[in-house]
C-alpha cells in the first residue's frame, strides 16, 4: 500500500504555528517562513499578518503597514488584520487612519446587519446616516458595546470629545477589558487637554500589553503635554529601540528635545525622520521652525523633489511650502520666499473653516457686556488668589520673551500656553457670565487654579499662563480672578501680522492663513483691548515689543512692578534661564535680545498691500518706540 501523502492543510497549519513561535525571538526567520507560505499560497491573510508583525519587530514600518494592508485586503473579515493595521497606523502617527482601521475591525467582528450598516456609513464618513442607526440600536439595546463604541467614534470625528468620553466610559463599565475602547478613551482625554487622566488609562492598557508601541507612543505624547519632557523622551527612545524605522516617532522625539533646549539632538532626530521619509513635510518645517537652522542647497533640492512626488498628502505639501519659504528667506530671495509662503497659506486656508466675522461679533458683545458698571457691581467677586500672570497677545508678538523674563524671577514659574481659561469661558458662555453669582464666579476661579496645578512643577508662588488668545477672555479673567496680573504683548501690526503669515501653527490660530484674516483679527484684538483700557483703567499692562528691544531694563522693571514683584537682576539675564519652552520662539529666547527681527517684514513690503489695506489706520496709529 502506498504511503499517505502529507496533508497540505496540516502542513500549512504547522508552518503558520512555527512562524508565530519565531516572531518574538527571531523575526527574520518568522518573516522567511511567512514568505515561504505566501510563495505557495499567495495572499494568505494569516501569513501576511505574520509578515507584518515580523516587519514591525524589525522596525520596518513601511513594510509592516503594507503587509497589514495586504492582510486586511486579502481577508476583509479578519478583525485581527484590521486591528494590527490600526496599531501600526497609530504608531506611524496616522491617528485618523488608525481609527478607521479599528472601526473596520469592529465591523469585521460583528454579523449584525444594523451595526454593519452603521460601520459602512462611518467608513464612508456619512455621519448623518450612521447616527440615527446607532441611536436607534441603543434605544433598543442600551448595553450594546459595539454601538456605543461606534457612536463614540462618530462624536470624536466632529470634535465632541466630551461626548465620546462619556460613551467610552459606558462601554468600559459594561466591558472593562475592551482595549480598543480604553485606547480611544485615552485619546479623547488627551485631546481635551486632560493628559494626566489619559495616562491613567494608558497605564491600564500597558499593564496588559507592556510593549505595545501605540500605547507607549501615546503616553509619551501625553507626558510631553504635561511638561514631563524627560520621561517623554525616555519613552520615545524606548519605542525607537524596538522600532527604529518609525519616522514620526523620531519627529516627536525631536519636538520634545527642542522644547528642553537640546537643539543639536533635536536636529539629529528630525534628520533621522527625513532619512526614513524624505517627504515628511512636518519634519522639514520643524527644522525650519528652529529659526537657527540654515538649510543647504541639498536640503532645498530634497524639498523640491519631495513636492514633486505623486500622491503627496496635503499636509506634507503645505509644510514643505512653509519650510521652503523659510529657506529662501534665509537665502535672501524674498520674492521666491513670499511665493512659497503665499502658496503654503493658500493650501492651509483651503482646509479650514474660519469666519472672521464671528470674532468681530463676539468682540461687539463683550464690549456691550463688560462695562465699568458691570465690574463695579461685582467688585470683590472671584477667587482672591493672585497666582496667575496672564500674558495675552497675538502670537509672534514677544509673549514668549516676556514669559521667559518673568520665569527668570525667583517668585515666578513659567508654564506654557494653558487652554483652561478658554475652556471655562466656552463652557459658561457670555450670557452665562452675565448671570453668574458671586459664589459661582469664585468657584470658577478656584477651578482654574486647580486645573492648572498639574502644570506647576515648583513651589514658586506665582506662575505665567501665556496662552496668547486669552486677550479674548480678559473680562472673564477679571470676573473670576480679579487679582490676577494681565500683560498685553504688542508688536507693530505689519511685523506681527506678517510673522503670523509665515508661521505654521501645530494647532489652533486658524486666522493666520490669509493676510486679510490676520488684519481683521489684529483689529478686533486692538478694539477689545482699547475697551478694557477704558472699562478697567490700569488693569492691563501693555508692553510694546520694539520698546522692549530698545530699552529692556526699564520695560522689565515696569512689568515686574505691575505684577507686584521686586526687581531681580536675573530677569535681565533671561537667556540663561534653563527651562522648557514650547513655542515657535523657543530658541530665540535662549539668546540675548536682538534687533534684527524687528524689521524683517520690510523685505516683503512689495507684497503686503492687501495687509496694509485691511489694517487701515492701525499702522499709522502704532506708537514710535523712539
User: What pLDDT is attached to residue 243?
Assistant: 86
Instruction: Give yes or no for a contact between 38 and 44, defined as CB atoms under 8 angstroms apart.
Output: yes
The CA distance from 174 to 149, in Å, is 11
> Is 531's pLDDT higher than 90?
yes
pLDDT tens, position by position, 333-357:
999 999 999 999 999 999 998 999 9
CATH superfamily of 198-277: Tetratricopeptide repeat domain (1.25.40.10)
Distance of CA 622 to the CA centre of its chain: 33
Residue 546 — φ and ψ, nearest 5°?
Answer: -65, -35
User: What pLDDT is attached to residue 413?
Assistant: 94
Task: List C-alpha distances in Å: 112 to 123, 135, 143.
Answer: 16, 15, 15
pLDDT tens, position by position, 575-623:
876 545 544 444 454 455 655 667 889 999 999 999 999 999 999 999 8
Distance of CA 172 to the CA centre of its chain: 27
pLDDT tens, position by position, 4-17:
333 444 477 888 88
User: What pLDDT is attached to residue 149?
Assistant: 87
Do the domains spanning 110-192 and 358-621 agree at the CATH topology level?
Answer: no
The C-alpha cell 527604529 sits at: 244
User: What pLDDT is attached to residue 61?
Assistant: 82
User: What pLDDT is attached to residue 626?
Assistant: 55
SS3 41: coil
The CA distance from 24 to 383, in Å, is 56
Mean confidence (pLDDT) of the chain:
89
User: What pLDDT is attached to residue 578?
Assistant: 57
The residues with which 390 forms a beta bridge, in sequence order, are 465, 486
Q: What beta strand segments (E) does 513-596 contain?
A: 540-544
Identify the helix (H) or strand (E) that includes residue 488: strand 485-490
Contacts of 521 (CB under 8 A, 6+ apart): 356, 359, 394, 511
Instruction: Give yes or no for a contact between 314 and 280, defined as CB atoms under 8 angstroms apart.
Output: no
Quick one: which of 426, 404, 425 has its CA closest to 414?
404
Q: Cα torsion for 470, 218, 199, 169, to the nearest 10°?
A: 90
Kindly report the CATH number that applies to the domain delimited by 358-621.
3.40.50.300
The CA distance from 409 to 623, in Å, is 29
SS3 240: helix
The residue extents of the domains of the chain are 10-80, 110-192, 198-277, 279-351, 358-621
Fold held by 279-351: 1.25.40
Kindly report the CATH number that applies to the domain delimited by 10-80.
1.25.40.10
Architecture of domain 110-192: Alpha Horseshoe (1.25)
Helices 515-535 and 356-369, axial angle in degrees (round to 10): 0
Region 204-210: mean pLDDT is 92
Please count the other Cβ atoms lying within 10 Å of the Cβ belonging to residue 15: 18
User: What pLDDT is attached to residue 589?
Assistant: 47
Share of the chain above pLDDT 90, in %: 62
The C-alpha cell 503686503 sits at: 608
| Phi-psi group of 249: left, alpha or beta (phi > 0 → left; psi -120 to 50 → alpha; rest → beta) | alpha
The CA distance from 294 to 601, in Å, is 19
Residue 384 — φ and ψ, nearest 5°?
Answer: -80, -10
SS3 544: strand
The CA distance from 276 to 95, in Å, is 19
pLDDT tens, position by position, 74-133:
998 887 888 889 888 877 778 778 877 877 777 776 767 888 888 888 888 889 999 999
DSSP type of residue 598: G
The CA distance from 207 to 209, in Å, is 6
The C-alpha cell 509644510 sits at: 319
Quick one: which of 551, 577, 362, 599 has its CA closest to 474?
362
Amino acid at each position: 500500500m502506498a504511503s499517505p501523502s502529507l496533508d497540505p492543510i496540516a502542513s500549512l497549519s504547522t508552518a503558520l504555528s512555527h512562524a508565530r513561535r519565531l516572531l518574538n525571538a527571531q523575526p527574520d526567520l518568522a518573516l522567511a517562513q511567512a514568505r515561504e507560505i505566501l510563495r505557495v499560497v499567495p495572499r494568505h491573510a494569516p501569513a501576511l499578518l505574520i509578515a507584518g508583525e515580523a516587519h514591525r519587530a524589525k522596525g520596518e514600518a513601511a513594510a509592516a503597514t503594507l503587509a497589514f494592508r495586504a492582510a486586511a485586503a486579502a481577508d476583509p473579515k479578519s478583525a485581527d488584520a484590521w486591528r494590527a493595521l490600526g496599531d501600526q497606523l497609530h504608531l506611524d502617527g496616522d491617528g485618523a487612519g488608525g481609527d478607521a482601521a479599528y472601526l473596520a475591525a469592529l465591523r469585521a467582528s460583528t454579523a449584525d446587519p444594523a451595526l454593519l450598516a452603521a460601520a459602512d456609513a462611518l467608513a464612508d464618513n456619512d455621519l448623518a446616516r450612521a447616527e440615527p442607526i446607532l441611536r436607534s440600536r441603543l434605544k433598543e439595546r442600551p448595553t450594546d458595546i459595539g454601538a456605543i463604541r461606534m457612536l463614540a467614534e462618530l462624536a470624536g470625528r466632529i470634535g465632541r470629545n466630551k461626548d465620546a468620553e462619556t460613551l467610552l466610559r459606558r462601554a468600559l463599565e459594561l466591558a472593562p477589558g475592551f482595549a480598543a475602547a480604553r485606547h480611544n478613551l485615552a485619546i479623547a482625554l488627551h485631546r481635551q487637554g486632560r493628559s494626566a487622566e489619559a495616562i491613567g488609562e494608558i497605564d491600564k492598557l500597558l499593564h496588559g500589553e507592556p510593549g505595545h508601541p501605540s500605547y507607549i507612543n501615546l503616553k509619551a505624547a501625553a507626558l510631553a503635554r504635561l511638561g514631563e519632557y524627560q520621561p517623554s523622551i525616555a519613552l520615545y527612545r524606548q519605542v525607537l529601540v524596538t522600532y527604529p524605522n518609525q519616522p514620526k516617532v523620531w519627529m516627536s522625539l525631536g519636538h520634545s528635545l527642542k522644547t528642553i533646549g537640546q537643539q543639536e539632538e533635536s536636529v539629529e532626530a528630525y534628520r533621522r525622520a527625513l532619512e526614513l521619509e524624505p517627504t515628511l513635510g512636518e519634519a522639514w518645517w520643524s527644522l525650519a521652525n528652529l529659526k537657527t537652522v540654515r538649510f543647504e542647497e541639498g536640503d532645498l533640492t530634497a524639498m523640491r523633489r519631495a513636492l514633486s512626488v505623486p500622491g503627496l498628502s496635503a499636509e506634507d505639501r503645505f509644510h514643505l511650502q512653509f519650510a521652503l519659504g523659510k529657506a529662501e528667506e534665509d537665502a535672501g530671495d524674498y520674492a521666491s520666499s513670499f511665493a512659497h509662503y503665499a502658496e503654503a497659506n493658500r493650501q492651509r486656508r483651503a482646509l479650514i473653516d474660519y469666519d472672521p466675522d464671528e470674532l468681530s461679533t463676539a468682540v461687539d458683545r463683550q464690549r456691550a457686556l463688560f462695562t465699568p458698571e458691570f465690574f463695579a457691581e461685582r467688585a470683590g467677586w472671584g477667587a482672591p488668589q493672585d497666582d496667575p500672570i496672564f500674558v495675552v497677545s497675538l502670537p509672534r508678538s514677544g509673549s514668549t520673551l516676556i514669559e521667559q523674563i518673568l520665569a527668570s524671577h525667583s517668585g515666578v514659574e513659567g508654564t506654557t500656553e494653558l487652554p483652561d481659561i478658554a475652556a471655562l469661558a466656552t463652557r459658561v458662555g457670555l450670557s452665562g457670565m452675565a448671570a453668574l453669582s458671586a459664589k459661582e464666579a469664585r468657584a470658577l476661579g478656584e477651578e482654574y487654579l486647580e486645573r492648572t496645578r498639574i502644570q506647576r512643577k515648583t513651589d514658586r508662588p506665582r506662575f505665567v499662563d501665556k496662552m496668547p488668545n486669552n486677550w479674548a477672555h480678559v473680562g472673564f479673567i477679571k470676573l473670576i480672578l480679579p487679582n490676577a496680573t494681565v500683560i498685553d504683548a504688542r508688536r507693530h501690526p505689519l511685523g506681527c501680522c506678517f510673522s503670523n503669515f509665515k508661521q505654521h501653527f501645530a494647532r489652533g490660530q486658524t486666522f493666520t492663513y490669509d493676510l486679510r484674516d490676520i488684519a481683521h483679527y489684529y483689529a478686533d484684538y486692538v478694539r477689545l483691548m482699547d475697551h478694557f483700557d477704558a472699562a478697567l483703567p490700569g488693569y492691563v499692562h501693555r508692553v510694546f515689543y520694539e520698546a522692549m528691544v530698545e530699552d529692556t531694563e526699564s520695560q522689565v522693571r515696569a512689568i515686574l512692578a505691575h505684577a507686584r514683584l521686586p526687581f531681580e537682576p536675573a530677569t535681565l539675564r533671561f537667556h540663561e534661564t534653563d527651562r522648557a519652552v514650547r513655542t515657535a520662539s523657543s530658541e530665540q529666547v535662549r539668546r540675548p535680545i536682538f534687533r534684527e527681527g524687528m524689521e524683517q517684514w520690510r523685505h516683503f513690503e512689495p507684497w503686503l498691500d492687501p495687509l496694509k489695506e485691511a489694517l487701515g489706520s492701525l499702522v499709522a496709529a502704532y506708537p514710535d518706540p523712539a
